[in-house]
């Protein structure tokens, strides 16, 4: 069931408050899930993406639901702002230029495939997020990545790279899951 506009606004506000709290206290905002109704109090998995003037500034998330969604968003917003290894921690003077997007993940579904071509045919561009794993190597792309990588083959090649594998990697031990997301953010309501 899709989140209501109120739920979306609450999650975005919590994410922003967690980043502000992180600037002031060096840790994520602690949220009491009992103060919220379902589905925010139910376990949920999310990714929080930060953009500064239209450029990625941080993105961290969880692939499986193991804590209340409201808490997951607060933790992931803090982590995206201060723990994404690709970027330095967010500074106070950047905050007004940062917009937040949240992806709430559906339950991952294991894909059964016999070949690379079989896998490529099952992938739904613009719809599926993918988790790819081979041994200890694992990576994911959210469905929003299709905007910059619209071709199935290139999407899969770049996901291999993100997982630390060669672009054309293929093996009998390769595992892939797909998931959908409910995606929303401040960019829908803010210019620039």
- Contact yes or no for 111/178 (Cβ under 8 A): yes
Sketch the domain layout of the chain as residue ranges. Answer: 5-105, 109-179
**Which tens digits make up the pLDDT trace of 102-131?**
999 999 999 999 999 999 999 999 999 999
Half-sphere exposure of 170 (CA within 13 A, CB side): 11
The reported pLDDT for the residue numbered 127 is 96
Query: Would you state the structure tokens that stand for residue 139, as one six-digit string?
Result: 């990576």
Query: Cβ atoms within 10 A of the Cβ of 150, count?
Result: 11
Check pLDDT > 70 for residue 192. Answer: no
Residue 2: what pLDDT? 86
Q: What are the tens digits of pLDDT across the range 12-60?
A: 999 999 999 999 999 999 999 999 999 999 999 999 999 999 899 999 9
- In the CATH scheme, what architecture does the domain 109-179 have? 2-Layer Sandwich (3.30)
In CATH, the architecture of 5-105 is 2-Layer Sandwich (3.30)
Q: Are 140 and 155 in contact (CB under 8 A)?
A: no
């Amino acid at each position: 069931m899709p989140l209501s506009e109120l739920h979306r606004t609450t999650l975005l506000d919590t994410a922003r408050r967690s980043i502000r709290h992180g600037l002031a206290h060096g840790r994520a905002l602690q949220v009491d899930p009992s103060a919220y109704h379902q589905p925010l109090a139910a376990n949920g998995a999310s990714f929080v993406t930060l953009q500064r003037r239209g450029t990625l500034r941080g993105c961290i998330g969880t692939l499986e639901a193991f804590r209340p969604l409201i808490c997951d968003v607060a933790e992931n917003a803090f982590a995206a702002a201060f723990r994404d290894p690709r970027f330095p921690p967010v500074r106070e003077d950047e905050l007004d230029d940062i917009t937040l997007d949240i992806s709430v993940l559906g339950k991952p579904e294991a894909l059964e495939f016999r070949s690379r071509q079989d896998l490529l045919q099952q992938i739904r561009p613009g719809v599926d997020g993918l988790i790819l794993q081979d041994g200890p190597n694992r990576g994911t792309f959210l469905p929003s990545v299709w905007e910059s990588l619209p071709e199935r083959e290139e999407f899969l090649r770049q996901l291999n790279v993100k997982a630390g594998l060669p672009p054309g990697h293929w093996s009998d031990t390769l595992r892939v899951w797909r998931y959908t997301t409910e995606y929303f953010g401040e960019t829908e309501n803010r210019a620039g």
